[in-house]
């Protein structure tokens, strides 16, 4: 059972279109991260959201954390070919030792065609 | 170095052979993680080292997998008697402290033929 469910799994759009990627769970999270991964590289952190209802903007990317802290979305406005990549949401799973490990969703593969 | 360094970047091995994958974390980062990623998929947690504490090995898929971290720095992931299903990209990440700040290496692409 996946802790984090991402949708859609694949998305192919034309340059200039808008899109939204979702990350959902039945669990409540203290925080959630979004990463982008390009072919042949490791994931790169885009943003961390920690407060229910929080909205963060990174240029054309808008990240939202649900009020109940069970879900998050990533919205891209006027997508560009450079946005192509694998988008991953992740959350910390806290251990008894008060340290944590990142648990990832399955990812959304985005292709933006020129 | 400035980032997390992994070697080799690519490894092709015959089924049944042992392989060693290396990770050099960012200097001073106390936490080190290994993940496995199949083509186009999310990351599967394998093992986690934190300072001098016993590692969290809960993600290792079988006893053919093991990892060490020497001197709190470099880590080696060893896969014995490799199988075709071990083919994947193996990613290493390090973290300085709580709560976040994971930095990933570029990974080792392992192909078992």
Instruction: Give me the mean pLDDT over the A8-29 stretch.
Output: 94
The residues, any chain, with a CB within 8 Å of residue B63's CB and separated by 6 or more, are none
CA distance A2 to chain B (A): 11
> Tell me: the pLDDT tens digits for B7-60?
999 999 999 999 999 999 998 888 899 999 987 678 999 999 988 888 889 899
| Closest alpha carbon within chain A to B42 | A106
pLDDT single digits (tens) A20-73: 999 999 888 888 999 999 988 999 999 999 889 999 999 999 999 999 999 999
Q: Are B111 and B12 in contact (CB under 8 A)?
A: yes
> Which residues pair with residue B61 across a beta bridge?
none
For B56-66, the pLDDT digits (tens) are 898 999 999 99
Q: What is the pLDDT of residue A96?
A: 56
Residues of A in contact with B41 (CB under 8 A): 106-107
Cα B42 to Cα A9, B47, B86, distances in angstroms: 10, 16, 15
């Amino acid at each position: 059972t996946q802790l984090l469910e991402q949708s859609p799994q694949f998305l192919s759009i034309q340059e200039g279109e808008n899109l939204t990627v979702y990350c959902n769970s039945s669990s409540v999270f203290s925080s959630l991260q979004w990463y982008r991964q390009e072919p042949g590289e490791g994931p790169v952190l885009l943003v961390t959201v920690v407060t229910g209802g929080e909205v963060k903007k990174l240029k054309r990317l808008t990240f939202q954390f649900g009020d109940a802290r069970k879900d998050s979305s990533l919205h891209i406005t006027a997508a560009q070919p450079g946005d192509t990549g694998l988008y991953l949401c992740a959350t910390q799973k806290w251990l008894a030792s008060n340290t944590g490990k990142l648990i990832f969703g399955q990812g959304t593969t985005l292709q933006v065609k020129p | 170095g400035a980032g997390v360094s992994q070697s080799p970047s690519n490894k092709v091995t015959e089924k049944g052979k042992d392989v060693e994958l290396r990770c050099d974390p960012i200097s001073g980062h106390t936490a080190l993680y290994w993940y496995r990623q199949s083509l186009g998929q999310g990351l599967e947690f394998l093992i986690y080292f934190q300072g001098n504490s016993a590692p969290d090995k809960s993600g290792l898929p079988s006893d053919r997998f093991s990892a060490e971290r020497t001197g709190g720095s470099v880590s080696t992931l060893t896969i014995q008697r490799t199988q075709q299903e071990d083919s994947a990209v193996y990613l290493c990440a390090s973290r300085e402290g709580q709560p976040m700040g994971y930095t990933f290496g570029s990974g080792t692409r392992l192909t078992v033929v």
